[in-house]
Each structure stands twice: as C-alpha cells, then as structure tokens.
Chains A and B, each alone.
Chain A
Amino acid sequence: MSSMNRRDFIQFAGAASALGMMGAPAILHAAPRARVVVVGAGYGGAIAARYLRMADPAIEVTLVEQNPKYVSCPLSNEILGGEGHIEHLTFDYKGLAAIGVKIVIDTATGLDPVRKRLTTKGGRTFDFDRAILSPGIQFNWGAIEGYDEAASQIIPHAYKAGPQTLLLRKQVEAMRDGGTVIITAPEDPFRCPPGPYERAAMIAHYFKKHKPRSKILILDSKDTFSKQALFKQGWERFYPGMISWVSGSDDGDVRRVDVKNRTLHTMLTQHKADVINIIAPHRAGAIAEKAGLAGKNGWCPIEPTTFESTLHKGIHVIGDSTDTPMPKSAYSANSQAKVCVAAILAQLNGEPVGVPAYTNTCYSLITPDWGFSVAHIFRHQDGKMVQVPNSGGVSPLDASVEDRRIEAIHARSWFRNITTEMFG
C-alpha cells in the first residue's frame, strides 16, 4: 500500500471490482493487482510476459513453459544447411526472471476457463485473473497415414526446433552423394509459410558444397506458396536442377508414409528417398484445444483488439494457435502479444481498449548472402483485421545483388533484435 499513490489505488480498486476477483481485504494485504498466467515462452509468450511486467510491476506474471531452454525455429533452417549453431538459437529465461516473471518449467495440461485455473503435468495449479496462451502448434498425427509421434523420431518434422532439427541435420549429413531428400509441405494455414522452401534452399546450400549430385524434392499439398517467385528465382540461380517442387494439383499431396521403407505415397505415385522430412499439417497447441478454445478448423478464434478468445472470456490466445489473417510467424506473434497486453492493461485500468496496430516482417535466405523479405501491415476495421491496401509485400524480383546481400544481413539483425526483446 505504502508505495501506491491515490490514482494507483483508485485504478487498483477499480480493477479489482471490475474483475470481481478480490475484496478490499485482499488489496490491503498487498496482493498482486492481477495474476496473469502466460503459457509458452516463445515469440508470443515471452513478449507478453515482458511487456506486462514492464508496464506494471504490480501484476503477477507466471510463465509456464515446458522446455528448460527455448530453441528458436526462425534461423533453424540454417542449421540444416550446415551454417550456424543451435546454441546461438537457444535461450534461457534468466532475463525474464530478472524483471520479476515467475518462471515455471512444466507442461500445462489443463485449463478450466470458468474457474480460471491452470493445471500442470507436475501437479501444480495456478489460479489466474487472465491467461494468455501462446502454445504454438501441435501436429495432426495420422493426417498423413503412418505419420505419428513415434514415426517422427525416424522421419523428422523438424518444425519445432531442437532435437528434431539436429536429427534431420544428422540424416542429411549422413546421406550419400547422389541421394534424394524429400520435404513435404502442408496446406495453408501453417506455421512459417516460407519455411519448407527456405529449408530446401539451405539443404541445397550444403549439398552444393559437399554432395553436388544430390537432389531435393518438395511434395506440396497446395498449388502456390509464400514468396514463390523469389524462391524459384533463387533456387534456379544458385542450385540449378537440384530442387524440384511438385504442386498439389500435380499429385504432390502426400497421403501415406511407409516409414520402414522410407517411401511416400501420393494419390498416384510413390516416392522413395534417402532422407524424408514430413512437415505434417498442424493445428492450435494442445493446451488451447484442451481448454476448448479451438474452433472447428483447429485454430482459436479471437477478438482482434484484445486477442481474447471468442469462446471463453478472460482467456487470450496469441501466435500460431490463433485464427487470424496474419501469417503464422514469429513477428506476428510478437506484434499480437503487444496488442493483447495493451488491451489487458486497459481492461485492468477500467479504460476503453485502444486501437490496435499489427505488423509482420519475415526474412528468408537462399544462401547466407542472398535474402529477401515480406512485410504485412494490418489494421483493425469493422471488427476485423484488415491488411492496409498497397502496403507491405515481398522484396522485388529484380532487386540488386547488393540488396539481397543486405537483406541476408538484416535477417540476422532481425533475429538479434527480436530475441533480445524477448529474453533480454
């Protein structure tokens, strides 16, 4: 109480009654102003936790994360190309703990949106006033027949960075020269839309140096993909004849995998490969689904000024799990976290929720010196997230060699900035 001025106290009391969460005695005992549980310490959750604590240290923020260290998916394709080290993509949570975020290494297993209680695999419970879920994705095991979690230990997805990335790297390294790698790419929407195509380029970058007779085949479930013209131009320029892409209409949609024989089956064809990477279709993270926050399409519908679930009040969802027109990218999650936090702060202060602004920026590499980008600027209009007309878009096809080099440099600076913003 002593450190609070009159205005703070009024806001504090207002917030308490607005939320109906605690009576006056609780306030007098200097209980936290609000308890917010954040699930997932990735590009969305880490930013949400930091921005909440930066804005108001009287808010108790508990960050529940299953992995003792965070490994970034962005830039992990470079590992597959033999560039960079996974340690440089690995972060701990000390910087977040230093600003008072309570770090809980445990898996969130249950969320009761009515009682506002989160339970974990370790048997802990956390009561909250608000929850922010940023749980990333879970795979639709079985969507490709024969591909389940056990199969992913032999044929990696490498679409959650860490051991899976290293497993795929090991297989690519062990492969004979003249072998074939197949990457399967899912239908939209999926996490990191340029990911499979950048991955092909990065593996080709390694092959060009070490196994020049090898091939990469992308079997796609869809007919177009992110930054398509730029990728095709880059593949042709640096890896002519090495990368082939088969669209869904051309029988690229993989239906079944024979793990033992390393064979993929489309409707009409079977493809045998030395190394297979199945980027299986996916949906909202497990905890979001368990809490009943996912819609029929597998993703979580949200109110775009607050990122509050439209299915359960008081629970917010950000990042890859959400059902929005933004691409499922790291920058989108970062941007959404900030909108979500600003809304929660306004609600706690009994103020109207402000006008949001959303941005996405994403870099892709063809070689360590050849990069390009896409930018998106969204606005809130008539209850929807709408892309600002004639803004953003991809790097020009006719950009100079120098611009491609600069964008590759920017890709690394982007990574340093966005991860420093998260982890300090």
Chain B
Amino acid sequence: MKTRLLMGIALAAIMHGGAAAGPTPKMLGDTCAGCHGLKGASAGLSMPTIAGMPADFIVLSMREYREGKRGSTIMGRIAKGYTDEDFEAMARYFSSQPWKSAKQEFSADLAKLGKRVHQRKCEACHRDNGISTEQDMPRMAGQWREYLGLVLDESRKRNFHQSETMKAVMERLSEQEVTALTHFYASQR
C-alpha cells in the first residue's frame, strides 16, 4: 500500500516536472489550522488532532475524501480543492508536527471496559493501546473523545470518515462498546 502510494506520488511529480512549484507544506498546512488547531493540535472537541499522524494516512484520507470514498460533512468539499501534490505537502507538514494529547475528562469505569474492547477488536492494527502509528495507523490514544464518538458511532451505520476495512469492523460493535472505546482512548495520553 505504502509503496504503491509513494510510487504514485513520485510518478505524479515526474509528470508535473518543470511545472511551477505549489505552496510550501507549511503554507498549505496553515490553511487547515483554523479548524484543526495551531500546527494541527486541535482545541475543538469534534475536530481531530492531525499533528503527528502518518503522512501516508493523511494522503490516503484526503484522496478518499476527494473521491467520495470516505464520507464526511465538509472534508469532501474541501479536499476537492487540492491536488495529490498538495496532499503530499500537507502530509509532510502535519506528520512532522508533535502529537499533543487532548486534555479531557473520561470515566475510569468506561475506560476499563473500553480497554477490553480495544484489546479484542482494535489492538491488532492500532497497536500499543492506540498510541502506535506504525503501518500508517492513525493515533487513537489521546484523541478527542467527542470526535471519536461521532466518527466511530456514525461509521457503524454508514461510510463516515473511515476506510472500508474500518466500516466492516465498526458494524460489529455496539453503541456502548464504541462509547467505552472513546473513554479508553481519552484515558491514554
């Protein structure tokens, strides 16, 4: 996956060879900060922190938003304004910014239940209690609970901010399990 994506980008770069350079990664990244927070560290409960996310995850997500493969309220419309090169530049910028865990409350009981759900259903990919970003996994630990709640709960019912693989997983979870998971990730900093 990763190799194919990178090759695609390299190829696109060659095809565009000689064309005028686009905005810098920081210039593009700065346009996102009004909603995703300064340097991608979100202060808004329903908007995810994207600082420190894997570059390939950001590029893939943005492409899927643009192509309508990933449901959203606004991201699809925004993604249509950018090229693959822009996505790659944004991804370089945000992936090199430090992750900041959200300061938020959580229920210890729900977090405990959530940990069991995580270990059973999520840990295989979202390693290290959702901290790891290996294999281009988005970081879950320390992400905003409200954001996770909205996205995970909705994606049990429809294609919403998720890959197809995730949708299949989410369909098998109950609402209560999803809530518990969000408290678990909120408890991980």
Contacts and interface: CB of A to CB of B under 8 A. Distances in A.
A407 B73 contact: yes
Contact of A421 (B37, B73, B78, B150): B37
B20 interface: yes
Contacts of B28: 357
Interface string B56-99: 00000000000000000110011011100010000000000000
B34 A421 contact: yes
A84 interface: no
A359 B44 CA distance: 18
Interface string A322-337: 0000000001001100
Q: Is the interface of A mostly helix, strand, loop or mixed?
A: helix
Given A355-B23, A388-B80, A412-B44, A420 B38 contact: yes
B122 interface: no
Contacts, number: 124
Contacts of B24: 342, 354-355
Given A377-B81, A416-B44, A359 B34 contact: yes
Nearest to B26: A342
A361 B35 contact: yes
A192 B23 CA distance: 27
B171 interface: no
Contacts of A388: 80-82
Contacts of B81: 359, 375, 377, 388, 391-392
Interface in B81-136: 81-82, 86
A202 interface: no
Contacts of B31: 335, 338, 357-359
B23 to A, nearest CB: 4
A414 B47 contact: yes
Given A392-B78, A409-B146, A413-B44, A420 B37 contact: yes
Contacts of A138: none
B184 to A, nearest CB: 22
Interface string B21-45: 1111011101111111110001111
B45 A414 contact: no
A222 interface: no
B34 A417 contact: yes
Contact of B34 (A334, A356, A357): A334
B73 A361 contact: no
B23 A354 contact: yes
Nearest to A342: B27
Contacts of A391: 77-78, 80-82
A392 B77 contact: yes
Interface string B147-185: 000100010000000000000000000000000000000
A418 B73 contact: no
A395 B26 CA distance: 28
A274 interface: no
B18 to A, nearest CB: 15
A403 interface: yes
A414 B34 contact: yes
A174 interface: no
Nearest to B90: A357
A255 interface: no
B46 interface: yes
Interface residues of A, number: 39
Contacts of A335: 30-31, 34
Contact of B47 (A342, A359, A373, A410): A410
Interface in A394-410: 395, 399, 402-403, 406-407, 409-410
A334 B37 CA distance: 12
A417 B73 contact: no
A421 B34 CA distance: 7
Nearest to A358: B31
Contacts of A111: none
Contacts of A406: 46, 73, 150, 154
A375 B78 contact: yes
Nearest to B32: A359
Contacts of B20: 355
Contacts of A339: 27
A45 B182 CA distance: 37
Contacts of A292: none
A373 B77 CA distance: 10
A418 B32 CA distance: 10
Interface in A79-126: none
Contact of B43 (A375, A390, A407, A416): A416
A361 B150 contact: no
Contacts of A178: none
Nearest to A51: B30
Nearest to A395: B73
A393 interface: yes
B74 A375 contact: yes
Given A388-B81, A416-B45, A373 B73 contact: yes
Given A373-B74, A417-B37, 9 more contacts: A354-B24, A355-B27, A357-B86, A359-B31, A361-B35, A377-B81, A388-B80, A413-B46, A421-B38
13 contacts: A342-B24, A342-B26, A355-B22, A357-B23, A361-B34, A375-B81, A388-B82, A399-B73, A406-B46, A409-B150, A413-B42, A420-B38, A420-B43
Chain A to chain B: the 7 pairs with minimum beta-carbon distance, closest first: A377-B81, A413-B44, A391-B81, A420-B43, A359-B31, A391-B80, A417-B44
